[in-house]
Amino acid sequence: MDRDPEFMAMLGGPRDDAQTAAYLARNLQHWTDYGFGLWILRESQQNRVAGRAVLRHLLLEGSDEVEVGYGFHPEFWGRGLATEIAAACVRFGLEELGLPSIVAIALPANLRSQRVMTKVGLVYERGVTHDGLAHVLFRSRSRAVAGRA
């Protein structure tokens, strides 16, 4: 996934092996620190890796937030998979982990991802700067409705 320019187009561009190893090390440490984090998603029939999803702490303009993230190999796009896993992550975060809210960020041009956010009940809150780039920030509305929109 990290080597694929199409997958990484809205995520800062492809990573080399060292960058991917650092990404995985950071995300495994997150599991150790918080007991949740990055999931690798496999096709149920053939067990091929289809994509990934994440619930992860994110320091955003000085605030500690928990974000939901998702990405699939392009051959799996357009099947509703991102919506399915994002809804599950939001529900898990709010109902099982008891988080007060969950955010998602995307580059303004990543309209596919923003559509997924809206479909799982996240609502546009504001523009933010992350990693030196302008992003849009969406947030869950409340425990009662998120993930069921």
Can you give the binding site for ligand COA, defined by CB under 6 A?
7, 10-11, 69-72, 77-83, 106, 110-113, 115-116
Nearest residue to 116 (alpha-carbon basis) of 143, 89, 145: 89
Task: Say how far residue 143 (Cα) sits from the centre of its chain.
Answer: 18
What's the rounded Cα separation, in Å, for the pair 78 and 93? 25
Q: What are phi and psi of 111, to 5 degrees?
A: -70, -30
What's the rounded Cα separation, in Å, for the pair 116 and 53? 13
Identify which of residues 88 and 99 has a Cβ nearer to ligand COA in the complex: 88
Identify which of residues 81 and 90 has a Cβ nearer to ligand COA in the complex: 81
Least separation in angstroms between residue 116's CB and ligand COA is 5
Rg over CA atoms, the chain: 15
Identify which of residues 13 and 80 has a Cβ nearer to ligand COA in the complex: 80
Least separation in angstroms between residue 131's CB and ligand COA is 12
Least separation in angstroms between residue 117's CB and ligand COA is 8
Least separation in angstroms between residue 25's CB and ligand COA is 20
Task: Say how far residue 103 (Cα) sits from the centre of its chain.
Answer: 9
Identify which of residues 28 and 111 has a Cβ nearer to ligand COA in the complex: 111
